[in-house]
Structure 1
Amino acid sequence: MLFKSLEFKNVVGQKVKIIEIPLVEEDNLNYFIISKKLEGFIKTVYLSTDKKRMYSFKDYLKRGLKWPVYQRLFEETELKNNA
């Protein structure tokens, strides 16, 4: 699975970074879940006055989703012959 990161300044002006955002296509069934959870997480981080500068979206999803849903989102597809 491919991941992306997002960097911006929060309400206080501190530069923060969100890492481990899964990259999925729009026609994927999990796209809606990821986009809504990411939107809420960005709002939380933007309004936060924490001194923390780096946040993991994957850890946020691990705490906020039911385990079977989380496993479905991040299931690793095994490559044939290590290709």
Structure 2
Amino acid sequence: MLLFKSLEFKNQAEQKIKVMEIPVLEASHPHFFMIQTRLQTFVSFIHDNPQQKSCYSFREYLKRKMSWSDFKELYRMEEVNKNKA
């Protein structure tokens, strides 16, 4: 089962920001390092560039930044669990 976490922080303009749908992966997962790096890049960009939005989906960001096959592989676990229910 794929778990998700959220992250809340204040950007440079003291605006409260929330990043949702961050996948929680074990360190042995093949995409662990890539997800950690992408998350750090994404959060740094949001922190340094004040935006109108206060809530962001990390999943939507990954959909644009990852190859489609890697994205499907990462989120495949969620689809399998939904089909079992």
Offset, 1:76 = 2.5
Summarize the alignment of residues 7-46 of structure 1 with structure 2, pairs less than 5 Å apart.
7-46=8-47
Distance 1:31 1:2 in 2: 13
TM-score normalised by structure 1 residue count: 0.90
TM-score normalised by structure 2 residue count: 0.88
Aligned-residue CA RMSD (Å):
1.7
The superposition leaves residues 9-65 of structure 1 with CA deviations (integer Å, 9 ceiling, x where unpaired) of 001110000000001011111101100000100101101211210000000000111
SS at match of 1:74: helix
SS at match of 1:5: strand
SS at match of 1:76: helix
Residue correspondences, number:
82
Give 1:68's aligned amino acid. S
Distance 2:11 2:24 in 1: 23
The structure richer in helix per residue is 2
| Partner residue in 2 for 1:62 | 63
SS at match of 1:55: strand
Give 1:15's aligned amino acid. K
